[in-house]
Chains A and B, each alone.
Chain A
Amino acid sequence: MTAIELTVNGDAVRRSIEPRLLLSDFLRNDLGLTGTHVGCEHGVCGACTVLLDGEAVRSCLMFAVQADGHGVTTVEGLSDGVALHPLQAAFHEAHGLQCGFCTPGILMTLVPFLQDHPHPDEREIREALSGNLCRCTGYQNIVAAVRLACDGASTADR
């Protein structure tokens, strides 16, 4: 067992874990943050995407021990618990989710993407989404939600 200390959604966390424990399992089982979903455990579906020091990563392709000393953000850390994050609100408005299983990973992929690309075109949005599989929506309303989130942001900027 190895002791690790990290920050998860802003909170300091200390745990003793087996080195082989995947970050995804650590978040879900050890911390009870079950919003991070597991869909393939080989890094293709993107459902387990979380932020590591602000960058999107597959939590099934990292050992929890590797997150020692780092900051992790999961979907639970996206909103303040009262109001939805603007991207979450846009997904609601645009019907950007159906079964919702892939949604946390998609949100966590898009948050840093939109920081880098505040006004993406459709091509860029689709490429950004291409590392996340969704079987329900055909992606169309996810794209619409991203555009909505950006338009909202641009309105606010003005």
Chain B
Amino acid sequence: MKPAPFDYFAPGTADEALALLDEHGDTAKPLAGGQSLIPAMNFRLARPQVLVDLNRAADLSYIRSEEAGLAVGAMTRQRAVERSDLVARAAPLLAEAMPWIAHPQIRNRGTVGGSLAHADPSAELPAVALALEARFRARSAAGERSMAVADFFKGMLETALQPGELLVEVVLPALPPRTGTAFLEVARRHGDYALVGVAVVVTLDAKGRCRAARIACLSVGDGPVLANEAGKVLKDQGRSDDLLRAAADAAANRDVDPPSDIHASAAYRRRLVAVLTRRALGRAFERAEKGSGEQGAVRSG
């Protein structure tokens, strides 16, 4: 299990990286944290001829608060996100999801941008980005563009990024008031890819009714899946057990069409979507209510 040979470049900035990618075209692959790419190379399932290592591009590693929201540089280590107070305050959903990503040894190398650009449907970050309506900033030698999350994920391990184009930043818009979030997943073992996971954002109105809910599921399709039907069920409703159940049912039976694999059948995944959606919604509502300072106002629903 040794990787095939390749040419290696370690540019010091994003611009240098883009120039190299442009120069080498299809033969080149950017190397972020390498925690998915290098195993694939060790199995010789991936054999890039040229690796452009982004790990020395210091200008791609940052977490900062901007007008548009929380901006995270693509090469920011997952560990840095996990440890960031700023993330904990501004994007508690992201903070809650971080410990579910593999193990500290992986998160010490793994990057936010690497995981998003890899677009593994079982990964946590794409679903979190979907739930939070993240925007993606990409650059190429030709210029820069910004994409909505819905336009970024294109399918199994597929994104809108073009050859020679790098994801450089993800921006998580600030959450409105009276918003609660929750992340839950079921994996075979702690740190494994999820069998199913859900990332939930619930925003309440002043009366405690659900103004908007975004439920993103992972490991149930070719990419992160937004449970729109479930969101509709919740719209303008006050919290109740029946409501959460109805929303969970909608997510499981109308929003997702999960695959079967050796670890979980489609039926089992549907079940997990229902259970996790219900449980995550419960938490998110509770957190939204607490955040609103109007706890108990709409308890009975």
Contacts and interface: CB of A to CB of B under 8 A. Distances in A.
Interface string B35-67: 100110011000000010101000000000000
B39 A55 contact: no
Interface stretch (A7-15, A16-24, A134-142): A16-24
Contacts of B7: 19
A2 to B, nearest CB: 7
Interface stretch (B18-26, B97-105, B216-224, B250-258): B97-105
A101 interface: no
Contacts of B108: 52, 55-57
A57 B109 CA distance: 7
Given A41-B1, A56-B105, A61 B8 contact: no
Interface size range of chain B in the complex: 20 to 34
B10 interface: yes
Contacts of A61: 34-35, 38-39, 106, 109
B103 to A, nearest CB: 3
Contacts of A128: 104
A66 B51 CA distance: 12
B263 interface: no
A62 interface: yes
Contacts of B39: 41-43, 61
Interface size range of chain A in the complex: 20 to 34
A131 B53 contact: no
A22 B104 contact: no
Nearest to A108: B105
A49 interface: yes
Contacts of B106: 43, 58, 61, 131
A135 to B, nearest CB: 15
A55 B43 contact: no
Given A42-B43, A127-B190, A20 B4 contact: yes
Contacts of A20: 2-6, 8
Contacts of B99: 127
B42 A42 contact: yes
